């Protein structure tokens, strides 16, 4: 219902569009920008000058092209000087990184996370990692903010972690705790790890150019980041994508170590506990234990093979449901779902093909992440960069 934009809004949109282009595509000639953005050369020149003046991009001559004539100037994001802090809070570890404009991880730290660590305990550890990294930040750098990827349901309004079934967090204000620890005035934005990883893979990873994507992320539990029509689907409060709590068995297993209080959730069939239990390793836990099951299956261990096949079949079962509901172009398997998919691709595809509707199966591609484990960090940084891209000169 909104009316067209004012002149000021148009300038902001144009500045944002140009900066976003080089943020996603890297160094770009002025000529390419003219074509890509549909603006004339003088407008591109003026916008670039404004962004360069704010220290967000630089201009230079391209490498030798071998062609005659004056080469078009190249516009580069100031990746080393404009950055965001990114945090990833996972079941077994904490990660912090400094991510430059353009999506380059400039520096990083990783810490073990005991499974009972609270948000109040995690914040100083992450802040400590940031303080270490701050020593290496060059002068005249611009920090645009911080983003946090967390396993759990995040309230969009304020970043409160309402429920992190696998971290044990309930109503933990991790964003506020980090802001207080860092003592800085950069805004901290919190998102669900699957959502932000989907965001990153969509912007610059496996799903680049795809408008309808499901990124399935597993650790102990399972969640999804969903892109529909080119936009993130996060629901009314920000809690969307809880596909691990899609019930697939009416009177199934109680959802272990999860406060959902229900039974028969998809993650009770494809999550860490299910795979370890079916492989006869109920006492084990963690990523390494899971990888040991895949390894044993690879080496011919019958019980491990059976557990992997069964979980793969259930993986295909739930993916088929999501494919029928969303008609995506791509499903990406991240975290432990990557390992499971790679170990049981035949079962996943077979169940997907038998349960999926033909029209929905036509164009869907199954993929692993291109950004690997960095997707969570790069996606968390994207949360912070979003504000810069919406209004480059105000935030810059």
Q: Which residues bind a copy of itself (CB under 8 A)?
A: 1-5, 9-14, 17-18, 20-21, 24, 36-39, 153, 155, 162-163, 211-212, 224, 228-229, 231-243, 245-250, 260-262, 317, 320-322, 324-329, 354-355, 357-360, 362-364
CB closer to a copy of itself, 118 vs 354: 354
CB closer to a copy of itself, 127 vs 243: 243
CB of 109 to a copy of itself, least distance (A): 31
CB closer to a copy of itself, 16 vs 127: 16
The number of residues making up the chain comes to 396
Please spell the DSSP secondary structure of 227-287, one letter per residue: EETTEEE-TTTS----GGG-B-STT--B-TT-TT--B-BTHHHHSHHHHHHHTT-TT--SH
Contact 205, 371 (CB under 8 A): yes
Round to the nearest angstrom and report the end-to-end CA distance of the chain: 30
CB closer to a copy of itself, 69 vs 261: 261
Rounded-to-integer distance, Cα 307 and Cα 302, Å: 9
Helix (H, G, I), strand (E, B) or coil at 121: helix
CB of 59 to a copy of itself, least distance (A): 18
CB closer to a copy of itself, 173 vs 241: 241
Q: Could you tell me which residues come within 8 angstroms of residue 301 by beta carbon, excluding any fewer than 6 positions away?
A: none
Main-chain dihedrals φ then ψ at residue 137, nearest 5 degrees: -75, 125
CB closer to a copy of itself, 323 vs 384: 323
CB of 228 to a copy of itself, least distance (A): 4
CB of 127 to a copy of itself, least distance (A): 27
Rounded-to-integer distance, Cα 331 and Cα 327, Å: 10
CB closer to a copy of itself, 247 vs 277: 247
CB closer to a copy of itself, 13 vs 65: 13
CB of 243 to a copy of itself, least distance (A): 6
CB of 383 to a copy of itself, least distance (A): 16
Rounded-to-integer distance, Cα 314 and Cα 352, Å: 10
Main-chain dihedrals φ then ψ at residue 215, nearest 5 degrees: -105, 110
Element (H, E) at 74: strand 74-77
CB of 386 to a copy of itself, least distance (A): 14
Side-chain half-sphere of 206: how many Cα atoms within 13 Å?
A: 24
Between the alpha carbon of residue 172 and those of residues 144, 162, 177, 186, 196, the distances in Å are 24, 7, 9, 20, 19
CB of 129 to a copy of itself, least distance (A): 29
Side-chain half-sphere of 187: how many Cα atoms within 13 Å?
A: 14
CB closer to a copy of itself, 1 vs 68: 1
CB of 279 to a copy of itself, least distance (A): 21
């Amino acid at each position: 219902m909104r009316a067209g934009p004012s002149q000021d809004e148009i300038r902001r949109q144009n500045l944002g569009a140009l900066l976003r282009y080089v943020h996603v595509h890297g160094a770009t000639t002025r000529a390419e920008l003219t074509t890509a953005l549909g603006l004339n050369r003088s407008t591109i020149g003026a916008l670039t000058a404004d962004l360069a003046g704010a220290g967000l991009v630089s201009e230079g001559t391209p490498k030798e092209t071998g062609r005659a004539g004056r080469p078009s100037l190249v516009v580069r994001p100031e990746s080393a000087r404009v950055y965001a802090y990114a945090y990833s809070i996972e079941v077994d570890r904490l990660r912090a990184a400094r991510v430059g404009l353009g999506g380059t991880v400039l520096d990083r730290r990783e810490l073990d996370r005991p499974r009972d660590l609270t948000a109040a305990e995690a914040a100083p550890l992450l802040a400590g990692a940031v303080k270490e990294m701050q020593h290496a930040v060059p002068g005249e750098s611009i920090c645009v903010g911080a983003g946090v990827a967390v396993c759990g349901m995040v309230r969009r309004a304020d970043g409160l972690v309402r429920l992190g079934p696998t971290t044990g967090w309930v109503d933990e204000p991790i964003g506020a705790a980090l802001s207080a620890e860092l003592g800085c005035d950069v805004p901290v934005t919190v998102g669900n790890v699957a959502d932000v990883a989907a965001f990153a893979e969509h912007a610059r990873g496996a799903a680049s150019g795809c408008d309808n994507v499901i990124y399935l992320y597993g650790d102990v539990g399972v969640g999804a980041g969903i892109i529909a029509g080119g936009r993130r689907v996060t629901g009314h409060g920000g809690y969307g994508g809880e596909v691990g709590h899609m019930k697939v068995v009416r009177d199934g297993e109680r959802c272990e170590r999860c406060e959902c209080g229900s039974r028969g959730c998809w993650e009770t069939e494809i999550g860490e506990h299910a795979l370890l239990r079916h492989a006869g390793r109920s006492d084990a836990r963690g990523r390494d234990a899971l990888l040991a099951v895949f390894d044993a299956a690879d080496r011919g261990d019958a019980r491990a093979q059976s557990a992997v096949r069964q979980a793969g079949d259930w993986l295909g079962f739930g993916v088929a449901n999501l494919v029928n509901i969303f008609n995506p172009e791509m499903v990406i398997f991240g975290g432990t779902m990557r390992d499971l998919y790679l170990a049981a691709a035949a079962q996943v595809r077979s169940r997907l093909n038998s349960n999926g509707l033909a029209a929905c199966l036509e164009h869907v591609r199954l993929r692993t992440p291109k950004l690997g484990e960095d997707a969570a960090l790069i996606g968390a940084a994207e949360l912070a960069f979003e504000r810069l891209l919406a209004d480059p000169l105000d935030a810059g």
